[in-house]
Every structure is written in C-alpha cells, then in structure tokens.
Chains A and B, each alone.
Chain A
Amino acid sequence: MSLGNDTLAKLREIVGADNVLTSKEDLIPYSFDGTAALQQMPGAVAFARSTEQIAAVLKLANQNKFPVVTRGSGTGLSGGSLPVSEGLVLCLVKMDKILELDRANLTMLVEAGVTTLTISDAATAAGLFYPPDPGSMKISTIGGNVAENSGGLRGLKYGITRNYVMGLEVVLPDGEVCWMGNKCVKDVAGYSLRDLFIGSEGTLGVITKVLLRLIPKPQAKKTMVATYAAMDQAAQTVSDIIAAQIIPCTLEFLDRTTIRCVEDFAKVGLPLDCEALLLMETDGHPAAVAEEAAKMEELARKNGAKEVRVAQDEAEATKLATARRSAFSALARVAPTTILEDATVPRSELARMIRFVDTVGKKYNLKVGTFGHMGDGNLHPTFLTDERNKEEMHRVEEAFKEIFDEAIRLGGTITGEHGIGLAKKGILPKFAGDAQMRVLRELRRALDPNGILNPGKMFD
C-alpha cells in the first residue's frame, strides 16, 4: 500500500515540505535499524517538531489508513523501528529539547528525541545522575529507550529505563494527546498507564515527552578488571560478591573470543590467554566504595583470578569500561554479519547458560562470542556469520532456537533488553502463553483499532 499523493501533500502541510523525505536516496538509510539482516523500504519519512504535528499525522493516518512507524535514531536491536513496506516513518530526532530540570523534585522533563547521553550529561552537570546507559546511549533517543524499556550496564544496582520514568506525554493512535504520571513519588490514581507504555515498542502510541527521575550522583567509584582461566570461576566470583551483600553498579563479562576481538580493536592491554574477563565497578560513598572494592578484589582472587587490575584513576577506569563498551563493535569487525542476541536467565543459571551457548556454537560449527551483564543474567551471545551464506544463516537460526529453549527452560526470558520487534515475534507466543497473548492483543486493538501504529511488530 503506497502513501499516495494526497497523503504526501497533507503530510507536507502538517510538518512542512522540508521535513518530508520521499526520494529513494533519502529513504534508504531509514530502511533499517541496528538489527542485522532486516530491511524494508518506507514510502516516506516525516520529521515532527511538535506534539501537535504528531497528533495531526496520526489523525491523517486513521483517515487515510496508512501505517506509521515511530523512529528515533534507529539503533534498536530487534527491528522495532523497521518501516512497514511503503508506510510512513515518523522520525522524532528533531524534537530534541530539554524542557525543564527540577532540582527541588529531582526530575527532568525532555522531548522524546533527546539523546540518552545529552540527558546523562545534563544530569551530571547539575550534580545529579541518570543511571540507564544502553550500549547505544551516545545517539539513542530517550523516546526509543522508553519504548523499548532499554537496559544497560548498570541494571543490577540501578535498574533499567522503567525505573526512571515518572511521567509520559503520549499521542494515542487516534491523535488524542494524553499525559500519564507526574512528579509525585507516590501516585496510585487509576491503572498505571505509564507503565503500559514503557516497553510498548511503538505499538500503542507515540511518546512525545518524558518526565525522568534523577538521583544524587555517587561521590566515588572504583573500577577493576579480573581475568580467569575458566568462565565458572568468574561466575562464582559474581555469586560470592552478591552473597557478601555487595551490589556493584557493574558486573560485566567477556568470553575468550570477545576478549581477543576487543584487544585487537581497542588495544587496552587485556591478557589474551584467559577464558573470561570480569569488569567490576562499585560506586557510592567513598568509604563504602573502598571497603566494597577491597572485598571484591579479595573474592576475585579467592576464586582463582589470574590477575586483578584496579584502575588507579578516572582515565584508566574509562579505558577499562571502554573495553566492555566496544565489545559489540569489536566483534562486528570479524565477520560480515553480526547477530547479537540477549537471552537472559536468572543470575544463578548464568554459568550453565554460557556453557550451553558454547556447546551449541560448536554443535552447529558457528563462530560465537559471548559477553554481557553477568550481574543480572543478561547475556549477549553474538554470532559472527555472513548473511549471504544461506546455509550458515540457517544453522544460526537453529542454534538460536536451542538457546532460547534453554533460556526458557532455566526460568529465563527470550529478551532481556532489546525487545520483541520483528526479530523475536515468532517466539513470543510460545514464551508468553495463550492468556497473556489474548490480553496483549485486546489491549492493542482497544487503543489502535485501525492498526495504524507499528503493525506487524511484536505480535499479530
């Protein structure tokens, strides 16, 4: 279904002719997001600059019955912002203003197109802290973060995007504007609709403004890296740290393949002869940090760490954290296609799950690097492949099926922080079960009876 000249003319009226793209060269970059091997050409891209414009676009979409896919910076990893073929991409990157920083209530009100890094920097400049730090935070927009309920490296101690959203302005599929939430810490008036929209992946409305909760900035931080001859030792260290009642802000691991790729790419000076690397960070009051860091170092050594390197200053800490942050890019250099997944299991099952991924990789003769958030059980098995090789891609699919089945069997989930989108639509019904699927479908139909917003994503 193409948009038609009448629709395009009206779109130009609403957002301005300069803000509507229709030429093939302009559209190609909007035919994909950060997800591997998914592409679909849109019919047009419209850049909105205000809530009113978005409301007008959605009203038009209901009248003329065309699909709308909301997009921020297009860094998603489940195909959530992939266009519907010939449909409209509604891009919010030009709505990029911070509207208010309320120091008395510790909140920040922002437009949906503000990048996560801008928010984090603005909070830091005010002596405050916005903890969620998804891997793409340098460019990802807060609207996208809320729509996907993005996680990040600090999930274990500080939680994820959901934990920092106090209010939302949303344009409903029929074009009505709705505020949900406020600056009150306690608010139990009615259903928590705000929570319904967090993680709704652009299927229930267009998020236009976000009221964020900020917290005091931790005064001190200590970063260290431990390397091990066996992954189990790293996993045991994590278990022991938690058992010692320490909740570090970061507990990240890299496996052997990932360590080699990262070192080759970032030259941080990581030892290449180890099976596992653990990046640990603790923050808070200086005295508590010193005590916790000493204990964490002791537990790492007790579990047979070959080397524990404690960052002596901020520069070294940043360098060590960069090693982990560059894992995805570093792995991507090795093969033409990089497929990153985010199967997640309860923390206690993590070592078993990592071993399972390794075994499956060998069974299907695939190159796989695994890294991720060891503290919260969210791992990123990353297959290094080539989408032109159909036979190998088939083996990758088979391997993923086994990995997800195992994750579910261990009491885990099919996606910890990337979302369902298009990539995992097929396995959601099995995971969620009939009752949940029925409620999901009824909710969506009630809000979007014409199926305007992000049709074909998450579930049918």
Chain B
Amino acid sequence: MTPRLSHLKDLDYSVVQQCMHCGLCLPTCPTYDATKLERNSPRGFVPRI
C-alpha cells in the first residue's frame, strides 16, 4: 500500500479535477448498481480525495 499512498500525495491535483461529475461512470459501476448510493461510485469517490 505504501507506494500507492505516496503516489497519491505526488499526484497533481488537476488529475482529480479531471472528473467533471457527469455521472457517466454510474451505469457501469457495480457497487453503485447494487447500493444506489453515489458514495459507492467513482463520481462519489473522487471529490472525497
């Protein structure tokens, strides 16, 4: 896990900003489909970073 965490720290913030929260990740997301909760989708996860 450690290398991945440091990668997250080094990540340019603009990469996270690339998510324009259009919602097109939702129809293909199995955890969103199962729970219907946005926190379990990519769009729900990205803004929490």
Residues of A at the B interface (CB closer than 8 Å) are 21, 25-26, 28-34, 36, 47, 73-75, 93-94, 115, 117, 136, 138-140, 328-329, 332-333, 336-338, 386-388
Check A34 against B14 for contact (C-beta < 8 Å): no
Give 19 A-B contacts (CB < 8 Å), ordered by A residue: A25-B39, A25-B48, A26-B37, A28-B48, A29-B39, A32-B47, A34-B21, A34-B23, A73-B23, A74-B21, A74-B38, A138-B24, A139-B24, A140-B23, A329-B24, A332-B18, A332-B22, A336-B17, A337-B20
Evaluate contact between A36 and B20: CB separation under 8 angstroms.
Answer: yes
Return B23 CB to nearest CB of chain A, in Å. 4
CB-defined contacts of A338 to chain B, threshold 8 Å: 20
Q: Which residue of A lies closest to B28 (CB)?
A: A138
Q: Pick the 4 closest A-B CB pairs, nearest first.
A: A29-B38, A29-B44, A336-B17, A75-B23
Closest to A26 in B: B39
A329–B44 alpha-carbon span in the complex (Å):
18
Q: Which residue of A lies closest to B41 (CB)?
A: A29
- Known contacts A25-B48, A332-B22; 6 additional CB pairs below 8 A are A25-B39, A29-B38, A30-B38, A32-B21, A34-B23, A386-B14
Closest B residue to A74 by beta carbon equals: B23
| A115 contacts across to B, CB distance below 8 A | 27
**Chain A residue with Cβ nearest B44:** A29
* Chain A residues positioned under 8 Å from B20 (CB to CB): 34, 36, 332, 337-338
- The reply to whether B18 and A139 form a contact with Cβ atoms under 8 Å apart is no
Choose one: A32, A138, A387; the contact of B27 (CB below 8 Å): A138
List residues of chain B with CB within 8 A of the CB of A75: 22-24
Q: Return chain B residues, CB-CB under 8 Å to A328.
A: 22
| Closest B residue to A96 using CB positions | B36
Q: Is the CB of B18 within 8 A of A336?
A: yes
Instruction: Kindly list chain B residues whose C-beta atoms are within 8 Å of the C-beta of A74.
Output: 21, 23, 38
CB distance from A26 to the nearest CB of B (A): 5
- Give the interface of B toward A (CB within 8 A): 14, 17-18, 20-24, 26-27, 36-39, 41, 43-44, 47-48
A29 and B21 CA atoms in complex are apart in Å by 9
Residues of B within 8 A of A94 (CB): 36
How far is B22's CA from A73's CA once the two chains are assembled, in angstroms? 10
The distance in angstroms between the C-alpha atoms of A75 and B23, with both chains bound, is 6
Q: Which residues of A contact B43 (CB under 8 A)?
A: 29
A136 & B24 in contact (Cβ 8 Å cutoff) = yes
Give the shortest distance, in Å, between B31 (CB) and chain A (any CB). 12
What separation, in Å, do the CA atoms of A74 and B41 have in the docked complex? 13
Q: How far is the CA of A1 from the CA of B14 in the complex (A)?
A: 33
Per the bound structure, the CA–CA distance linking A31 and B41 in Å amounts to 14
In the complex the two chains form, is B39's CB within 8 Å of A47's CB? no
Which of B18, B20, B21: most chain A CB closer than 10 A? B20
Contact A29:B47 (CB < 8 A) given known A93-B36, A138-B27: yes
Bound complex: CA A327 to CA B36 (Å): 27
What residues of chain A lie closer than 8 Å to B38, measured between beta carbons?
29-30, 74
Cα separation A25 to B44 with both chains bound (whole Å): 9
Least distance between A338 CB and chain B CB atoms (Å): 5
Check A336–B14 contact: CB distance below 8 A.
Answer: yes
* Nearest-neighbor residue (CB-CB) of B40 within chain A: A29
Q: Shortest Cβ distance from A370 into chain B, in angstroms?
A: 17
In whole angstroms, how far apart are the Cα atoms of A94 and B35 in the complex?
10
CA distance A388 to B14 in the complex (A): 10
Q: Is A47 within 8 A of B36, CB to CB?
A: yes
Partner of A73, one of B18, B26, B44, B48: B26
- Chain B residues with Cβ under 8 A from A33's Cβ? 21, 23
Question: Which one of A332, A333, A387 has the highest number of Cβ atoms from chain B below 10 Å of its Cβ?
Answer: A332
Most buried by A among B18, B36, B38, B39: B38
**A387 to B20 Cα, complex, angstroms:** 11
Query: In this complex, what residue of B is CB-closest to A76?
Result: B23
- Select one of B22, B27, B39, B41 contacting A117, CB under 8 A: B27
When distances are taken between beta carbons in the complex, the residues of chain B under 8 Å from A333 are 18
Q: Which of A75, A386, A387 gathers the greatest number of chain B CB atoms within 10 Å?
A: A75
How long is the Cα–Cα vector from A336 to B21 in the complex, in angstroms? 12
Kindly list chain A residues whose C-beta atoms are within 8 Å of the C-beta of B24. Answer: 75, 136, 138-139, 329
Among B14, B23, B36, B37, chain A packs the most CB atoms within 10 A around the CB of B23
Residues in B neighbouring A387, C-beta threshold 8 A? 17
* Cα A36 to Cα B47 with chains together (Å): 13
A34 & B27 in contact (Cβ 8 Å cutoff):
no
